[in-house]
């Protein structure tokens, strides 16, 4: 049952919209935390509380090696590593990230649970004798109904708590499945992202030879609740400083510094899944697509507004040339949530990105052309630009649309979605529009992340590794999965010699798996199934090399040209 | 002149597999930016059997700026100006509607669709639009007559 749940849930993983390996990394991080906390009852019953809390402070959120911690010495060796790995992830990362990532990953965790549980059961007697074998299992099954019952009140709590706090909660409470389970409902219940969002962009009427309308910073509002109203009027000092783009849901009034806008000009309401506009008795009128909504000083009825509609507030006052006498023309962007959630298109893009480095065996089903030059975006070593809407062009082609007078506002030439290219890189929102900005910093962080994980591996290698050492083995897939995600590598190729000896894991081939974050899982499964920890480690080490050397120009392992621009695939580097 | 590659590509596609009832040629082999379009009047419309010549001009900024389409053959149509320019009002060709991802093939197909189904609400010839709305029969008569007069090879 849980397998089917995970399968269905993984199909709408928001992470699909994301392609950055770092993203996957953070998901994994979240995953491990869940994994950790749900298996915690077993470990906490066997181990001392002090060690637990220490682990939490060191690697409060990144408990990669949680299963390994059942053995005291391994935990001591490993937790510093864990904390170091957590380095790139800033502590200031807002809490909702964790909640969302966790919710994202949770279904996969459930799927995993099936595979992990047997091994955990078998490991418990050896590593922690005092542990009841069935403990974790019962925990899992018991917690599930609770999770669903908490569905309603879970999220508000979560968004309020900081990750470290929740981690401490894990540590403190024996009943640690609660936070985990409370993260679960967000997969089933509507996401916060589906709250009504509307954005206002300045619009210049190219038709009329009229003067330019009032320039303003694009405004974005996400309603805290559907009953909220966004009031629009003249900017007033009394309202305090206008917050153009609050990250949190807000119904703060929107003010424009124009004399032709009445103090109370119009309102935007969200009714029955549809945005509406209403003139609230403005003197100079509200125009929806050039149609005046009401007589002067008369409130109008509600009019529905659609994406792309133009709303004009007031009429240019001819008596003055100053900006303050200009009318306001707003281009509405709303009902775009479908675009920000995983959909066929951006999943395809993700698979495109994933497969860029895979050479001829790649699954190019998601590939498409640059809509500007009509050439394929899969040309090797071509600089690409991907907008938040998951449309991709050659940078060369799209650059003149980026570097416009409107910069940093970027309008997608395919779907007309606006993106603020200067927006802060925001890890909190799983499907927000900063993807574009992300590319560069993420890459950098990737490689640093990778080298970090690379430093962990020798340490692992140095340890004596009896193949029967269950706890450590449990930890390895985490690491391996992490690396696999970072480098988009196919460890299984490296594993080939090992795999030849035993029946190949059914899902070991990445290509066979639909392009989703579910990709992480097959790797996991196969790795968990195979008790061979060492080859994985070796492959990890090797896998690590190309990425690290990628930053240097004289890379001896520079992948072949024909394998694509992002050739991080191990096979590209190796004969 | 980065546009040339794209234009050449689109032209090649259009020449290789032309859309129904549309034939594309360069007006001048050395100039990629002016095209001659031969469009057959769609079946069921008063323009049926007619062969219309259109000029398609691409700006150097193409695809960032829209192409312009004009009828060289006189046509009685609410959306085509009834002068010697024969300029055509296509929604997607307006500067603020145009997207670089739009293709000439789509433009041409849209133009041909407009022959089959005029859009009187978007008309440039108000009188014809009025007639199209209120006196369809008369409109079709005139359109047929014009087609016979100007668009059919004798």
Q: Please write the tens of the pLDDT for every residue from A273-315.
A: 888 999 999 998 999 988 899 988 889 999 998 888 889 998 8
Which chain A positions have a beta carbon within 8 Å of B11's beta carbon?
Answer: none
Residues A241-265, mean pLDDT to the nearest whole number: 78
- Range from A363-372, B27-36, B135-144 carrying the lowest mean pLDDT: A363-372
3-state per-residue secondary structure call for A536-552: HHHHHHHHHHHHHHHCC
pLDDT(A67) > 70: no
List b or e across B37-71, with b for residues whose CB sees 16 or more CB atoms inside 10 angstroms: bebbbbeebbbeebbbbbbbebeeebbbebbebbb
Cβ distance B99 to A413 less than 8 Å, yes or no, reads: yes
Which residues of chain A are within 8 Å of residue B5 when distances are taken between CB atoms? 373, 375
What is the topology classification, in CATH, of domain A194-334?
A: Tumour Suppressor Smad4 (2.60.200)
Question: Does the distance separating the beta carbons of A414 and B99 come in below 8 Å?
Answer: yes
Nearest to A371 among B2, B96, B100 (CB): B100
How far, in Å, CA of A229 to CA of A40, rounded?
A: 45
Q: Judge whether residue A66 has pLDDT over 70.
A: no
pLDDT level of residue B36 (50, 70, 90 thresholds): very high
- Which of A206, A372, A375 is closest, CB to CB, to B63? A372
Task: Check residue A286 and give its pLDDT.
Answer: 92
pLDDT for position A277 = 92
Query: Is residue B25 over pLDDT 50?
Result: yes
pTM, two decimal places: 0.44
Q: Could you identify the residue written with the tokens 């935990």?
A: A75
Residue A209: predicted pLDDT: 57
Nearest chain B residue to A417, by CA: B99
- Residue A134 phi/psi, 5° resolution? -80, 0
Rounded to the nearest integer, the mean pLDDT of chain A is 57
Does the pLDDT of residue A317 top 50, yes or no?
yes
Q: What is the pLDDT of residue A385?
A: 86
pLDDT tops 60 at residue B31:
yes
pLDDT tens per residue across span A170-203 = 433 334 334 334 334 333 344 444 677 888 888 8
Contact, A32 vs A55, CB < 8 A? Answer: no
User: Residues A311-340: what's their mean pLDDT?
Assistant: 81
Instruction: Give the model's confidence band at A545: pLDDT under 50 very low, under 70 low, under 90 confident, else very high.
Output: very low
Determine the pLDDT at residue A556.
43
Mean pLDDT confidence for A467-480: 43
Interface of B with A (CB under 8 A): 2, 5-6, 9-10, 63-64, 95-96, 99-101, 103
- Pick from A210, A345, A370, A374 the residue to mutate for testing the B interface (most B CBs within 10 Å): A374
Q: How many Cβ pairs closer than 8 A exist between chain A and B?
A: 30
Whole-Å CA distances, A36 to A40, A86, A166, A180, A483? 6, 15, 13, 10, 19
Closest A-chain CA to B95: A206
> Looking at residue A280, what is its pLDDT?
92
Judged against a pLDDT cut of 50, whether residue A370 lies above it is answered with: yes
Looking at per-residue pLDDT, the higher value among B149 and B154 belongs to B149
Name which of A209-223, A383-397, B140-154 the model is least confident about.
A209-223
Interface contact A413-B101, CB threshold 8 A: yes
Residue A379 near chain B (CB below 8 Å): no
| Strand partners of residue A376 | A369
Q: Which long-range contacts (CB under 8 A, 24 or more apart) does A341-346 make?
A: A341/A12, A341/A14, A341/A17, A341/A191, A341/A193, A341/A194, A341/A431, A342/A12, A342/A13, A342/A14, A342/A15, A342/A16, A342/A17, A342/A431, A345/A390, A346/A16, A346/A17, A346/A389, A346/A390
Report the pLDDT value the prediction gives residue B27, as an integer from 0 to 100: 85
Distance from CA of A411 to the nearest CA of B (A): 10
Strand (E) or helix (H) holding A29: helix A21-38
Where helices occur in chain B by DSSP H, the ranges are 3-16, 104-116, 126-134, 136-146
DSSP A488: T
- With a cut of 50, say whether residue A231 has pLDDT above it: yes
Separation between Cα atoms, residue A343 and residue A336, nearest integer Å: 12
pLDDT of A527 higher than 70: no
Residues of chain A found within 8 Å of residue B10, distances taken between Cβ atoms: 374
The whole-number pLDDT of residue A376 equals 77
Interface test with B, best of A370, A373, A377, A393 (most B CBs within 10 A): A373
Give the residue numbers of B annotated as catalytic, written as ranges.
89
Per the CB < 8 A criterion, the answer to whether A109 and A31 are in contact is yes
- The percentage of residues in chain A with a pLDDT greater than 70, rounded to a whole number, is 32
Please name the residue of chain B whose CA is at the shortest distance from the CA of residue A369: B101
Distance CA A340, CA A222 (A): 14
Asked if pLDDT for residue B51 goes beyond 60, the answer is yes
B123: helix, coil or strand?
A: coil
Contact B95 A206 (CB under 8 A): yes
Answer whether B64 sits within 8 Å of A373, measured CB to CB: no
For A279, phi and psi rounded to 5 degrees?
A: -80, 130
- Distance of alpha carbon B146 from alpha carbon A326, whole angstroms: 48
Which of A331-335, A499-503, B88-92 has the weakest average pLDDT?
A499-503
Rounded to a whole number, what is the distance in Å from the CA of B101 to chain A's nearest CA?
Answer: 5
Q: pLDDT digits over A262-280, tens only?
A: 888 999 988 888 889 999 9
Whether A483 shows a pLDDT value over 80: the answer reads no
The minimal CB distance from A374 to the residues B9, B64, B99 is found for B9
Q: Where are the domains of chain A?
A: 2-190+436-573, 194-334
The domain segmentation of chain B, as residue ranges, is 3-151
Q: In what order do the strands lie in the sheet containing B51-57?
A: B22-28, B31-40, B51-57, B68-71
| For residues A349-373, average pLDDT | 62
CA distance B104 to chain A (A): 12
Name the minimum distance, in Å, from the CA of B2 to any CA of chain A.
8
Pick the residue from chain B with its C-alpha nearest to A414.
B101
| C-alpha distance from A281 to closest chain B C-alpha (Å) | 31
Look up the ipTM and state it. Answer: 0.76
A242 pLDDT band, cuts 50/70/90, is: low
Mean pLDDT, residues B79-97: 82
| Cross-chain Cβ contact A372/B101 below 8 Å | yes
User: How many other C-beta atoms lie within 10 A of the C-beta of residue A203?
Assistant: 18
The domain B3-151: what is its CATH number?
A: 3.10.110.10
Searching chain B, which residue's CA lies closest to the CA of residue A375? B6
CA distance B35 to chain A (A): 19
Quick count: other Cβ atoms within 10 Å of Cβ A2?
17
Output the six-digit token pair for B52: 């219309």
Nearest to B2 by CA among A452, A240, A375, A270: A375
Q: Could you check whether the bond before residue A408 is cis, i.e. omega within 30 degrees of 0?
A: yes
Given a cut of 80, whether residue A37 has pLDDT beyond it is: no
Quote the pLDDT of residue A409: 78
């Amino acid at each position: 049952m849980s397998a089917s749940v995970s399968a269905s849930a993984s199909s709408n993983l928001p992470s699909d919209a994301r392609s950055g390996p770092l993203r996957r990394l953070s998901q994994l991080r979240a995953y491990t935390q869940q994994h950790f906390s749900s298996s915690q009852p077993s470990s906490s019953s066997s181990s001392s509380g002090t060690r637990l809390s220490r682990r939490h402070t060191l690697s409060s959120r990144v408990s990669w090696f949680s299963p390994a911690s059942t053995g005291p010495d391994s935990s001591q060796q490993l937790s510093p590593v864990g904390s170091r790995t957590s380095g790139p992830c800033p502590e200031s990362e807002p809490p909702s990230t964790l909640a969302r990532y966790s919710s994202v990953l949770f279904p996969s965790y459930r799927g995993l649970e099936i595979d992990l549980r047997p091994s955990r059961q078998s490991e418990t007697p050896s590593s922690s004798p005092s542990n009841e074998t069935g403990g974790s299992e019962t925990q899992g099954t018991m917690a599930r109904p609770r999770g669903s019952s908490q569905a309603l009140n879970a999220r508000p709590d979560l968004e309020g708590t900081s990750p470290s706090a929740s981690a401490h909660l894990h540590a403190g409470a024996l009943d640690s499945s609660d936070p985990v389970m409370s993260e679960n409902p967000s997969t089933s219940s509507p996401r916060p992202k589906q709250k009504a969002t509307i954005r206002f962009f300045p619009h210049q009427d190219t038709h009329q030879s009229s003067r330019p309308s009032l320039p303003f910073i694009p405004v974005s509002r996400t309603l805290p609740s559907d009953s909220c109203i966004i009031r629009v009027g003249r900017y007033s000092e009394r309202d305090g400083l206008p917050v153009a783009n609050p990250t949190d849901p807000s119904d703060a009034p929107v003010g424009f510094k124009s004399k032709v806008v009445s103090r109370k000009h119009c309102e935007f309401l969200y009714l029955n899944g549809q945005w509406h506009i209403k003139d609230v008795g403005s003197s100079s009128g509200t125009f929806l697509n050039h149609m005046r909504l009401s007589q002067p000083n008369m409130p109008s009825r509600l009019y529905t507004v659609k994406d792309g509609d133009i709303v004009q507030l007031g009429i240019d006052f001819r008596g003055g040339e100053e900006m303050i006498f200009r009318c306001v023309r707003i281009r509405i962007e709303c009902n775009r949530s479908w675009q920000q959630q995983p959909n066929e298109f951006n999943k395809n893009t993700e698979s495109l990105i994933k497969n860029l480095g895979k050479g001829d065996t790649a699954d190019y089903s998601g590939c498409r052309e640059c809509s500007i030059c009509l050439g394929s975006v899969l040309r090797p070593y071509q600089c690409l630009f991907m907008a938040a809407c998951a449309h991709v062009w050659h940078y060369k082609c799209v650059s003149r649309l980026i570097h416009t007078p409107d910069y940093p506002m970027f309008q997608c030439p395919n779907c007309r979605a606006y993106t603020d290219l200067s927006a802060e890189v925001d890890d909190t929102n799983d499907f927000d529009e900063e993807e574009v900005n992300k590319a560069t910093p993420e890459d950098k962080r990737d490689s640093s992340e990778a080298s970090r994980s690379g430093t962990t591996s020798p340490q692992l290698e140095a340890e004596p590794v009896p193949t029967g050492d269950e706890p450590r083995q449990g930890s390895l897939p985490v690491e391996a999965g992490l690396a696999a995600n970072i480098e988009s590598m196919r460890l299984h190729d490296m594993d080939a010699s090992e795999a030849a000896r035993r029946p190949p894991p059914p899902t070991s081939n990445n290509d066979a798996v639909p392009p989703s974050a579910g990709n992480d899982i097959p790797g996991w499964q196969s790795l968990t199934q195979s008790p061979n920890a060492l080859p994985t480690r070796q492959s990890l080490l090797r896998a690590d090399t190309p990425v690290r050397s990628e930053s240097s120009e004289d890379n001896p392992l520079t992948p072949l040209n024909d394998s694509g621009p992002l050739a991080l695939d191990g096979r590209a580097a190796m004969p | 002149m980065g546009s040339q590659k794209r234009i050449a590509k689109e032209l090649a596609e259009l020449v290789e597999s032309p859309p129904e009832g549309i034939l594309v040629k360069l007006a001048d082999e050395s100039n990629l930016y002016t095209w001659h379009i031969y469009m057959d009047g769609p079946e069921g419309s008063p323009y049926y059997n007619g062969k219309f010549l259109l000029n398609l001009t691409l700006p150097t900024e193409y695809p960032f700026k829209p192409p312009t389409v004009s009828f060289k053959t006189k046509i009685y149509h609410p959306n085509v100006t009834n002068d010697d320019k024969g300029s055509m009002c296509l929604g997607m060709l307006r500067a603020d509607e145009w997207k670089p991802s739009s293709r000439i093939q789509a433009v041409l197909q849209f133009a041909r669709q407009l022959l089959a189904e005029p859009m009187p609400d978007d008309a440039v010839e108000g009188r014809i639009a009025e007639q199209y709305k209120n006196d369809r029969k008369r409109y079709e008569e005139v359109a047929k007559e014009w087609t016979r007069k100007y668009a059919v090879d004798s």
